[in-house]
Amino acid sequence: MKYLVGNVAEVPRGEKRSYKIKNIPIVVIHSAQDQFYALYERCPHQGVSLGNGTLGGTTCATGPGAAFDYTREGEILRCPWHGFSFDVTNGACVNAESLRVRTYPLTIDNSQIFLDL
């Protein structure tokens, strides 16, 4: 079932906003690459609000002994308490393989964001 979350203008590129849909806390992310993602808004480690976390990118080596590049801007959401970092594209924790946050499909229609539950 689809639920109206809000308007795309409410979530500028590179930012996030928290919502409650059917009593489920959701954080909607608008990545720097102009993609929208929705995650369960609570960190699986200790339940803190990921909506209060930092949205950014990560560093990645281009090869052995090479310099690091900053990549994936707007696709890594960091928990404000302990810094666990989650890939907003799939919910995987990038620094603790056993942790994952649920993702939800979104649809954009006439500048409106809809969440599929």
CA distances from 23 to 48, 54, 117 (A): 16, 23, 12
Take residue 70 and report the two structure tokens written for it. 């900053």
| 71 touches 59 (CB < 8 A) | yes
Q: Answer whether 0.75 is exceeded by the pTM.
A: yes
| Cα dihedral value 66, 67, 72, 77, nearest 10 | 110
CATH level 2 (architecture), domain 2-116: 3-layer Sandwich (2.102)
The CA distance from 106 to 117, in Å, is: 9
The two beta strands, 36-40 and 24-30, are: antiparallel
Domain boundaries, the chain: 2-116
pLDDT of residue 56: 84
pLDDT of residue 90: 96
Q: Which tens digit of pLDDT belongs to each residue from 5-30?
A: 999 999 999 999 999 999 999 999 99
The CA distance from 69 to 47, in Å, is: 31
Decide if pLDDT at 54 tops 80: yes
Decide if pLDDT at 57 tops 80: no
| 36 touches 11 (CB < 8 A) | yes
Q: Which tens digit of pLDDT belongs to each residue from 61-97?
A: 777 877 787 667 778 999 999 989 999 999 999 988 8
What would the mean pLDDT of 34-55 be, rounded to a whole number? 94
